[in-house]
Structure 1
Amino acid sequence: MKVPTKPWTLLYKIQQEVLPDTRHYLSEWKVKADKIPDDELRKQALSSIKEKTFHCEGGAVYGLLAGQERKNIIRFIVAYQTISDYLDNLCDRSTSLEERDFRMLHQSMQHALTPGEEPVNYYRYRQNQDDGGYLASLVLTCQNILKDLPGFRSAQDSMHQLARYYCDLQVFKHVEKNKRVELLENWFARHKQEVPPMTWYEFSACAGSTLGIFCLAAYTSNSLKTEEVNIIKNGYFPWVQGFHIMLDYFIDQEEDRKENDLNFIFYYENEEKMVQRIKYFKEKAELSIRNLPDWKFHQLINKGLIAIYLADKKVQEDKKLKRTSKRFIRFGGLSTLFFYLNKRVYRQA
């Protein structure tokens, strides 16, 4: 099955193949979430599906790289992203601010990438416990898909590495407010040799994306050599993932300001510096993408990311954000403009 390399063929395949499959699998998880016995866990599970559907829809585009395994890869991506969004809700609106609680919850994301690992009580350190097997079911779904993919064993360590970055970030950014920055700075100090020169908050952004995991998962549909795995991982981490999450935080600025939540965009000295650095990440992402198989597809995804985020109503309803967003659209080029104008495919199709 041919991988799309033009904006219009990509949009067509998203409409015809990706979105229907994604929504089908999400609807199955919604039915399970609706049966969660604990009121709070049920509320957060349903909310994460309702409010963050577009995370699954965006991630599921990588299913187009998987040929005959497309449906399986989309099913994996939906399950894994649903874990991520559910845990994000639990941590954002947590009755606990304990590091051990958040780390225990996020152990599920490592277990999901480890076929044969038995799910445990991920709610061990919190009051709300009974999810009727919801989280364990998500974990086992991921395991059962990955274990049969020809390239998974070759890619597993790299997928775990990206998941560790992600889980560490989620733990440190959700503890007590007065501890967050120090924990993140110390964490960055332990890993700064693993990435090009950047700040602690930019590294945090690079860690906060699941795109590299999804990309690797898609390519495990075929056998992979170690060097191929490294090319794919390095193609996405740090630059593409960092660019992705910076856009995410860019559109959340007003909401995070009201809620007094951590937002990495706030640490830039001014708006001009922020725009320059996001543009720099975008340019470095384009260079790293050039090394990937199917690089034209990945380039389209990178350009489409700008459109997806900037078409968000948070931007459209905020004059200042909308003004800045036009600069991002310009440096995204014609493909970004095309995706931006066709934003209904992502939001309303």
Structure 2
Amino acid sequence: MPVPMTPLHLMHSMYKRVFPIVHEQLCYWKAKAKEIPNEELRRQALSSITHKTFHCEGGAVLALLSGKNFTEAIRFIVAYQTISDYLDNLCDRSTSLDPADFAALHEAMEDALSPGAPLRHYYRYRLDQNDGGYLVELVKTCQSVLAEMMGYEIISPFLKELCRYYCDLQIHKHVKKEEREERLIKWFKENQRDWPQMEWYEFSACAGSTLAIFCLVAYSLDEPLTPKGAQQIKESYFPYIQGLHILLDYFIDQQEDQEGGDLNFCFYYQNEEQLFQRFIYFIEQADERVNGIKHEKFHRLINRGLLGMYLSDSKANEYKDIQEISKKIIRRGGAASRFFYLNGRTYRRMQQWFPHWFGKYRVH
């Protein structure tokens, strides 16, 4: 099927093609999570699937770039995103504040991108260890998809670079509260030469997304990329599309994070006007970076879809300050942003009003 190039075509493809396979895959992993022997690991695995399903739904839209290997692309995306969400829970909401533990856990994300790589003991620095093979099976699922791919060696360096950014972020941001900011600033200074136009908290946001990895894998499952093509895709998504993605995530979580005393990159802007202007900068840069890329219109829709998906969330409408900025961002995003925003609001309301009718779009 052709890659969607209009908002309506994209939404139709998501509901009819993407969501059913995503939820089929998530149901499988949820069943596996229920079998985890260790109570804490089981609780975090189930929580990550239950509360972060939309991460897999959103990421899997990039599978529409994978042609005849669409199902395999979703299998990879769901497994890799499930690793990400599970490990995020283990680092953020579980029993450890040890950076060595976080580094060991995130070796799973590195190994998942390396077909044939030996599996490691990812829980070796924590008390809770027996997951019944859950994390290893997720890793092996990703490896199996990449092992069948033509041209894996072309995208491999880019996958590993993006993964390194992601893992470093996860290690630094989950340590003791009094150490987080210092570690993140030091890490940024090591990379600042490449991104002089950013602040440390913006660079951190850019590192925290998996979208570029999914895009590279999806394209490569359709046909091998050239080195130049792979470079172009990576530079189109990292840093600005990924940064927009994660800044939106933090933006709608501001009240929740403030109440919980959690790190939030949006807190570091001087005022609401600066926050709004930087969002506009990221939107404009994200659009500029996809100029000339294959399926350019599709990638622009991804940018607008991110705005609509996040800003239609109820958390973006519960507090007046967040709501006002959300409205301004949607207006600047244009007609496509308004379409995805209204669709998102309607979809969420319909889920509340008719939960049984929407059951096929939920993970039971």
TM-score, reference length from structure 1: 0.98
Q: Is the 8 A contact 1:195 1:238 kept in 2?
A: no
The residue aligned with 1:17 is 17
CA spacing shift, 1:240–1:117, aligned 2, 3 Å: same
The residue aligned with 1:85 is 85
Aligned length, in residue pairs: 349
* Displacement after TM superposition at 1:29 (Å): 0.1
The residue aligned with 1:56 is 56
Deviations 1:217-244 (A, max 9, x none): 1111111111111000000011111111
**Structure 1 vs Structure 2 CA RMSD:** 1.1
The residue aligned with 1:334 is 335
The residue aligned with 1:164 is 164
Deviations 1:36-83 (A, max 9, x none): 000000000000000000000000001100000100001100000000
The answer to whether 1:122 aligns with 2:117 is no
User: Any residues of structure 2 matched to 1:196-211 within 5 Å, and which?
Assistant: 196-211=196-211
Amino acid paired to 1:283 = E
* Displacement after TM superposition at 1:179 (Å): 0.7
Q: Is the 8 A contact 1:57 1:346 kept in 2?
A: no
Matches of 1:125 and 1:220, distance apart in 2: 35
Matches of 2:48 and 2:30, distance apart in 1: 10
User: Any residues of structure 2 matched to 1:21-170 within 5 Å, and which?
Assistant: 21-170=21-170
Matches of 2:326 and 2:129, distance apart in 1: 42
Q: Is the 8 A contact 1:308 1:346 kept in 2?
A: no
The residue aligned with 2:354 is none
Amino acid paired to 2:15 = Q
Amino acid paired to 1:60 = A
User: Structure 1 segments of 4 or more deviating over 4 A?
Assistant: 344-349
Amino acid paired to 1:30 = K
Deviations 1:126-166 (A, max 9, x none): 01000000000000000000111113210011011001000
* Displacement after TM superposition at 1:194 (Å): 2.4
| Structure 1: unaligned runs, 5 residues or longer | none
Matches of 1:2 and 1:64, distance apart in 2: 8
Amino acid paired to 1:317 = E
The residue aligned with 2:344 is 343
TM-score, reference length from structure 2: 0.94
Amino acid paired to 2:317 = Q
CA spacing shift, 1:79–1:134, aligned 2, 3 Å: same
Amino acid paired to 1:231 = Q
Q: State the identity as a percent.
A: 54
Q: Is the 8 A contact 2:106 2:167 kept in 1?
A: yes
* Displacement after TM superposition at 1:344 (Å): 5.7
Deviations 1:149-205 (A, max 9, x none): 113210011011001000000000000111111111110111112235211111001
The residue aligned with 1:248 is 249
* Displacement after TM superposition at 1:94 (Å): 2.7
